[in-house]
Structure 1
Amino acid sequence: MGSFQIEGGHRLSGSIQPQGAKNEALQILCAVLLTSEKITINNIPDILDVNKLIRLLTNLGVKVEKTGKGSYTFKSDDLDLDYLHSEQFKIDGSGLRGSIMIVGPLLARFGKGYIPRPGGDKIGRRRLDTHFEGFIKLGAKFRYNKEDRFYGVEAPKDGLKGSYMLLEEASVTGTANIIMAAVLAKGTTTIYNAACEPYLQQLCQMLNSMGAKIGGVGSNLLTIEGVEELKGCEHRILPDMVEIGSWIGLAAMTRSEVTIKNVNWNMLGVIPNTFRKLGITIEQQGDDIHIPAHTNGYEVQSFIDGSIMNISDAPWPGFTPDLLSIMLVVATQARGSVLIHQKMFESRLFFVDKLIDMGAKIILCDPHRATVIGHDFKSTLKATTMSSPDIRAGISLLIAALSAKGTSVIHNIEQIDRGYENIDERLKAIGAKIERIA
């Protein structure tokens, strides 16, 4: 288990390029199973979760070739479906939550799909009902082996058939999985209350370039006309908006002047304005974000009636839940108070005890709400030794450590590596004092 040793309290300076989007990559990589033709994908992030999925696809028989930094070709013309019943698949599939999205493409193309109960972040219960209820609506038969904790779906002999469905929740991975199953189904599928995040839009655009017929892209009402087969294509993954938000938070907390390059502004939604609610100055320079040094700190806004600022997550176009941990840690040095309301996951605020140990003023009201009283940089956070519980809490603790006086150690950094590419070297390039230790 690796660790980071961080000497905090230093100001950073320079520019940083965001990696390709983790959440998009997991969807796009599963979509290569929908065709026997070659697919080229660019800007794939070199992170643990994505690399695990690429290994799973390779074990399934997908021909994978790396053609450059972040660029790969995939060809699924001779798959080994027996792998789905192997012990190795149980290990590969259960170690990555994103593996659930291979089920839709396999069901669509081969009439059956299996997956062990996926792993991933320990951030509370994350139901898979949306995925399988969608498959059932398309005519698939569902089964779950409680002893082996193994899910399976099988299409009827005459194949999947399009259907109308109203999703109980706007699940991003659930919507993606259902779309990938529906593109090869007979007839029309209508999905209402579909997720419409940029990464879902990217998946739909990629599938359409492969010959799918998906309408309503970018809205919560999708219409899919099934086609008989899909062809190959070339696709480029968006910059990771969660990493972009992480660098905004890092610049503010360390009072550093940082430029985030090539962010694809039109896909950031409410993210810039949500950080502005904490008083952070965000300047658009072409397609870059420039954060000036906040030498005088930053002040939390209040609502029109003077009540305490409340920042909460919501499905797109609301504020992504993956950035609430960043907002919370940035608020610890703001001027003023803010209520952080994590609505979508039940355990994501359970890392605040580590920030409190560092001297932050945080009241954990319940599993979903925390009130943060900012220090206004009048007192700094204290260096400490801690462990990363999940990806987003891990990067938040790293930001806290970089702003704290003294030397901190963060253990279990594999959690950070799951979502952030080569993070220590990239941070060193802008002046961070961080070392990877055994």
Structure 2
Amino acid sequence: MGIFKIEGGIPLKGEITPQGAKNEALQILCAVLLTSEKVKINNIPDIIDINKLITLLGNLGVKIQKNEPGSITFQADEVNVNYLETEAFKKEGGALRGSIMIVGPLLARFGKGYIPKPGGDKIGRRRLDTHFEGFINLGAKFRYNREDHFYGVEAPEGLIGADMLLDEASVTGTANIVMAAVLAKGKTTVYNAACEPYLQQLCKMLNSMGANIKGVGSNLLTIEGVESLGGCEHRILPDMIEIGSWIGLAAMTKSEITIKDVSWENLGLIPNTFRKLGITIEKRGDDIYIPAHVNGYEVKTDIDGSILTIADAPWPGFTPDLLSIVLVVATQAKGDVLIHQKMFESRLFFVDKLIDMGAKIMLCDPHRAVVMGHNFESQLKATTMSSPDIRAGISLLIAALSAKGTSTIQNIEQIDRGYERIDERLRAIGAKIVRA
């Protein structure tokens, strides 16, 4: 396994451009299975999780033509559905969380979809019930092999539109159900649907392919099924999680950084949440400019003077993927912050590594942590640590870049799953980071 060696405490300076959004790309790439025509996708991030999914699509028989970097044309006109029942697929599909989203398109177009229990981050229980309950509502028959954890849905006569109320506003669950419903007979309504920008992007792409989806951006989607979909060209949004990561990096390292082409209209509460921590964020066209916080940053309390609480929530609430970043940034703020991670019960467990570096954090329970900021009066100390998941990994990397001394981060494949060439891009703005 690879490691990063990081010399911390060095202010950075320059411009950095966010990669294409990982969470959008996972949905968009699965949607190419819905048509036999060519689909060109631009701004695809070159990261482990996305490359694994592209390989999986290729093994399913999807033709893949690489254009310029970040641009690929897909054509699913000779899909081998029988591959789903092979041992190779069980191993391949089980290594990637996003593989679950091939089920909806395959079920809609070919009448069946199978998937092994998906892998991904070890951040707590990530249920699949919403996905399969949606497929069952559309008329599919569900089966589950407990011995090898293999899920299957079949609808040889085709899917039929239905009204459904989702038990949770699952982003991947909504995406899977929408991709199944676009080719179902009749009308489908999905209430309590996720409405994240990435889901909106998927719906806009499907509509450009000939689907009929209304209510995009709301939690009530209405889908009129169509006979077939055609090809299209689609550009993936910049990754809002990476944008939030760079904001946190700039504050923690007292760096002057410009984040280019961020798509401000799709950032939601992200800029204002970091502003609550006292971080200065300027809008310059479609860029974010963050000045060097040489005097630190001070947490804003609530109106009544009580401790600031930052919690995750379904969109347009604050995304859970950035709570790890907020937590590490709070360690050097002036003031205290309560971090409330509602969705995943294991995501805060990396704080012991920050405590080893000298951070003042009290883990109240699996979902809540109180951070007592140092106000840079006590610098974090370098250490050796391991990355447990993508977002904790980048948080530890930010901590290491701000710490005094040379830190080592092990298991960096977790970071590479979600961040493209991160060491090269950080070196370009002055970071001393080496991959070994």
Bucket of the pairwise TM-score, normalised by the shorter protein: over 0.9
Deviation at 1:267, TM superposition (A): 0.3
Question: Which residue is equivalent to 1:149?
Answer: 149
The letter of the residue matching 1:240 is: D
Deviation at 1:156, TM superposition (A): 4.5
Superposed counterparts of 1:288-303, under 5 Å: 288-303=287-302
Secondary structure, counterpart of 2:67 in structure 1: strand
Question: Which residue is equivalent to 2:61?
Answer: 61
CA contact (8 A) 1:139 1:156 kept: no
1:144 and 1:2 map into 2 onto residues whose CA distance is 37
CA contact (8 A) 1:124 1:346 kept: yes
Deviations 1:348-372 (A, max 9, x none): 0000000000000000000000000
Question: Which residue is equivalent to 2:326?
Answer: 327
The letter of the residue matching 1:391 is: I
1:135 and 1:221 map into 2 onto residues whose CA distance is 17
CA RMSD of aligned residues (A): 0.4
Matched, 1:87 2:84: no
Superposed counterparts of 1:92-107, under 5 Å: 92-107=92-107
Superposed counterparts of 1:256-267, under 5 Å: 256-267=255-266
After TM superposition, which residue ranges in structure 1, 4 or more long, deviate above 6 angstroms? Answer: none
Question: Which residue is equivalent to 2:38?
Answer: 38
1:9 and 1:433 map into 2 onto residues whose CA distance is 10
1:298 and 1:161 map into 2 onto residues whose CA distance is 55
Secondary structure, counterpart of 1:153 in structure 2: strand
Q: TM-score, normalised by structure 2?
A: 1.00
Superposed counterparts of 1:308-347, under 5 Å: 308-347=307-346
The letter of the residue matching 1:297 is: G
Deviation at 1:186, TM superposition (A): 0.2
2:149 and 2:337 map into 1 onto residues whose CA distance is 41
Question: Which residue is equivalent to 1:194?
Answer: 193
Superposed counterparts of 1:30-429, under 5 Å: 30-157=30-157, 159-429=158-428
Deviation at 1:91, TM superposition (A): 1.1
2:199 and 2:79 map into 1 onto residues whose CA distance is 26
Q: Name structure 1 gaps, 5 residues minimum.
A: none
CA contact (8 A) 1:107 1:155 kept: yes
Deviation at 1:81, TM superposition (A): 1.3
Deviations 1:379-410 (A, max 9, x none): 10000000000000000000000000100000
1:39 and 1:418 map into 2 onto residues whose CA distance is 24
Deviations 1:10-42 (A, max 9, x none): 000000000000000000000000000000000
2:148 and 2:373 map into 1 onto residues whose CA distance is 48
1:214 and 1:169 map into 2 onto residues whose CA distance is 20
CA contact (8 A) 2:112 2:156 kept: no
Deviation at 1:82, TM superposition (A): 1.5
The letter of the residue matching 2:142 is: F
Q: TM-score, normalised by structure 1?
A: 0.99
Q: How many residues align?
A: 436
CA contact (8 A) 1:141 1:156 kept: no
Secondary structure, counterpart of 1:68 in structure 2: coil
